[in-house]
Amino acid sequence: MLTMEIDHPKPNAPDQVSPKFSINVLQLLKSAQMQHGLRHGDYTRYRRYCTARLRRLYKSLKFTHGRGKYTRRAVTESNVTEVRFLHLVLYTAERAWSHAMEKRQLPDGPTARQRIYLIGRLRKAVKWATLFSHLCAIKGDSRTSLESEAYASYMKGNLLFERDQNWDMALMNFKSARAVYEQLGKYGDLENQVLCRERVEELEPSIRYCLHKIGESNLQASELLQIDEMEGPALDLFKAKLEAVMAEARSQQAASMTEFHWLGHRFPISNGKTRVAILKAQELEKDLHGPSADSLSAERRLAIFDKIFTAYHEARSCIRSDLASSGNAENVKDDLNGLDKAVSAVLGQRTIERNQLLVSIAKSKLTRRRDDKSEKVTKPEELVRLYDLLLQNTTDLSDLVNSGRDRKPEELSFSEECALKSLSFRAERCFYLAKSYSLSGKRAEAYALYCRARSLAEEALQNFQIANGSDQRIQQLKILCEECRSNSCIEHAKGMMEEMKAPENLSKRISNISLTGADKKTEKFLVEKLDTYESAVGDANAKGVPRIEVFPPAYQAIPRNPIVLDLAYNFIEFPSLENRMKKDKKGFISRLWR
């Protein structure tokens, strides 16, 4: 028996199989990033969240670093007894990475000292990401280990990408991370597959840029700008790098830009910042008016307009600061005043174009059928307000162009073009104002406004045809004339019908009047008068609710189950329970008072 026990000893504790931890790294990080700032690119908020999360983890794990002197406790294989220790290492890496991205997103870019600090934080993020990958390889399951390796490769690629060196190593790390996420995107639940595919798309621009820097790809500047339109936290470092490269390219290109041409005038540009700002705005204008402009969505075009406004406002502020510091040099002041006027005029033109885009969006929503109940309904009053803005913009632009002396022929033709635009805007404003009155049931006012809109549209059409205006605008005015004519006929017919029905409606109302006021006749429901035709939804101008059927339905009497009287219950004799009841014990004094 003793020999048998010696031959089969009990296994020791280290030989036992330790449980493997599982972390869905990408899903965990994405949810934390989207909920705590990175949905809007707020890296400061995300860094503070990581710090607070680490504080809670250290406290809950009782893994603090001492009360007195600070002595860091390292997270090693032997320490990792539960999954929260892996969370410690992961959120430490995220905190260092978010701190670096916070420095990268400074308004004027990081200074030399700040860039050294930024690279140091990225190096720290790589250190913690590598430790996280090492611990997951030992303590985590196969999927967690694979995801942690992809995360570490991504962090290493970010560090090399920021340092502008070892592009081949950066490319290898990015490709390694992409390969892992491509494989993980084929398995798991649907949400995880979508996240993995999104991360693959976010890594693609960085890989293409690394190939471009190595010389294995002929990436064009237009393709870089298309990549810049993509969204995602993984692309923020790439966008910052791309913006720095584009700013450097603009600075080199702006050196050859010495004049600004506008309506036959040439204004010299001496300030480098003004050149760069104007050049940036002109590059963005090419995207709006280029061959690929039709493929741009309305939201994308509005975003480009916002960037154009920012660039021109920056140029105008530089011009006015130069004007304030120009002194008494009259020639310099005249050039700067002319340049300021030209930039303001171009800014006014782009404002009109943007408002016209808003009008087209509102028109599409007005005519489109509303399928989604949560979608906001566009009313004619909103279009009237937009046309008011367009009229104000056109008036301001015309006043600005006419403000100078010795005007050139280009300025005169531009003023005439502004007058034609103003006339067409007045016609369309009048048309949608008539629509608003029509929906309110005011037939006479709507008819008069439609007639006025038609006369304005015909006048604008005639002037555009004389001036050889754009065919698209002429076609729009022709359609507007036809719509004004048809709508005025409809309003006239509806007004006549309402006038003819007025005595009949009046007699019905008089017949329903009672002297006491108690016999008020209630209107019948639709199901009670099926023999007479009436719209199921009622009149469009009626304020009341359509009376189709009574809801909720009235109560009705129905037969119930018969009542069965339980007569046997009265004759049942139940056993006595007094012997089971607890008796109160009374003392000697209480017995005396009975």
Question: pLDDT tens across 281-327, in order?
Answer: 888 888 787 776 777 788 888 888 888 898 899 889 888 888 888 77
Using DSSP, state whether 480 is helix, strand or coil: helix
Domains parsed from the chain with CATH numbers: 21-65+74-248 (1.10.3450.40), 259-441 (no CATH)
Flag whether pLDDT at 220 surpasses 70.
Answer: no
pLDDT score recorded for residue 542: 57
Per residue in 78-114, pLDDT tens?
A: 888 888 889 999 999 999 999 998 888 877 778 888 8
Amino acid at 185: G
* Percent of the chain residues topping a pLDDT of 90: 16
Using CA atoms, how far apart are residues 514 and 504, in angstroms rounded to an integer? 18
Per residue in 227-240, pLDDT tens?
A: 455 555 555 555 66
The torsion defined by the Cα of 307, 313, 315 and 316, in degrees rounded to 10, comes to 160
Burial, 444: exposed, middle or buried (Cβ in 10 Å; 0-12, 13-18, 19+)?
exposed
Tokens of 5: 């026990």
pTM over 0.95: no
Q: What is the mean pLDDT of residues 26-40?
A: 89
Closest CA to 79 of 69, 94, 70, 89: 89
The torsion defined by the Cα of 83, 88, 93 and 96, in degrees rounded to 10, comes to 160
Flag whether pLDDT at 183 surpasses 70.
Answer: yes
Task: Write down the mean pLDDT value for the chain.
Answer: 80
Q: Element (H or E) spanning 267, and its range? A: strand 265-268
pLDDT score recorded for residue 216: 60
* Percent of the chain residues topping a pLDDT of 70: 78
pLDDT score recorded for residue 402: 84
188 close to 25: Cβ distance less than 8 angstroms:
no
Tokens of 432: 């949608």
Using DSSP, state whether 290 is helix, strand or coil: coil
Using CA atoms, how far apart are residues 103 and 44, in angstroms rounded to an integer? 9
pLDDT score recorded for residue 433: 92
pLDDT score recorded for residue 218: 54
Residue that the structure tokens 């990015």 belong to: 174
Flag whether pLDDT at 476 surpasses 70.
Answer: yes
Question: Which of 36-50, 448-462, 532-546 is the least confident region?
Answer: 532-546
Flag whether pLDDT at 117 surpasses 80.
Answer: yes
Per residue in 354-405, pLDDT tens?
A: 999 999 888 888 776 554 455 667 788 899 999 999 999 999 998 888 887 7
The torsion defined by the Cα of 175, 178, 179 and 183, in degrees rounded to 10, comes to 180
